[in-house]
Amino acid sequence: MSEQFIPNITTELRKDIVKVPEAIQEASGIIVFGKKIRSIIYTTDIAIIRNTNANAVIAVYPFTPHPAITKSIIEAADIPVFSGVGGGLTQGTRAIYMSLFAEAQGSIGVVLNGPTSASTVQEVCKVVDIPVVSTVTSTYSLIQEKLDSGVKIINISAAEKTPEVVAYFRKMYPDLPIMATGGPTDESIRKTIQAGANAITYTPPSNGELFSKKMDLYRQQEIEKYERLQ
Using an 8 Å Cβ cutoff, are 110 and 128 in contact? Answer: yes
Whether 96 is covered by a domain: the verdict is yes
Domain of 45?
22-205
Residue 14 in any domain: the answer is: no
1: in domain: no
Q: What whole-number distance in Å separates Cα of residue 202 and Cα of residue 58?
A: 9
CA distance 41 to 30: 15
Q: Which distant-in-sequence residues (6+ apart) come within 8 Å of 91 by Cβ?
A: 116, 117, 120
The predicted pLDDT at position 90 comes to 67
Q: Looking at the domain assignment, is residue 216 inside a domain?
A: no
Q: Is 9 within a domain? A: no
pLDDT per position as a tens digit, 206-225: 878 877 877 877 788 788 77
Report CA-CA distances (Å) from 107 to 16, 67, 179. 26, 12, 17
Residue 62 falls within a domain, yes or no? yes
Instruction: Give residue-wise pLDDT tens across range 95-138.
Output: 999 999 999 999 999 999 988 988 999 999 999 999 999 999 99
Residue 194: inside a domain, yes or no? Answer: yes
Residue 104 in any domain: the answer is: yes
> What domain count does the chain have?
1
**Rounded to the nearest 10 degrees, how much is the dihedral formed by the CA atoms of 110, 171, 114, 139?**
-160
How confident is the model at residue 1, as a pLDDT? 47
Give yes or no for residue 139 having a pLDDT over 60. yes
In the chain, the N- to C-terminal Cα span, in Å, equals: 51
In tens, the pLDDT along 43-94 reads 999 999 999 999 999 999 988 899 999 999 999 999 999 999 987 666 778 9
Q: What is the CATH number of the domain that holds 93?
A: 3.20.20.60
